[in-house]
Amino acid sequence: MLRGNRELWLALLALILITAGYGLIIGLTSQIPPASEVFGHSLGIAGFLLMLMTETLYSLRKRSRSIKWGKMSAWLQFHIFTGIVGPYMTLLHTSWKFNGIAGVTTLLTMIIVFSGFIGRYVFTRIPRTKEGLEIEGTLSQEALKQARRLLALWHAVHIPIGIALFISAFVHVGAALYYATFLK
At 52, give phi and psi (nearest 5°): -65, -40
Residue 2's pLDDT is: 41
Per-residue model confidence as pLDDT tens digits over 111-133: 888 888 887 777 766 666 555 55
Residue 146's pLDDT is: 77
47: confidence class by pLDDT, cuts 50, 70, 90: very high
Q: What is the mean pLDDT of the chain?
A: 82
SS3 128: strand
1: confidence class by pLDDT, cuts 50, 70, 90: very low
Nearest-angstrom CA–CA distance, 48 and 87: 7
Instruction: Kindly report the pTM of this predicted structure.
Output: 0.77
Residue 71's pLDDT is: 77
Residue 134's pLDDT is: 58
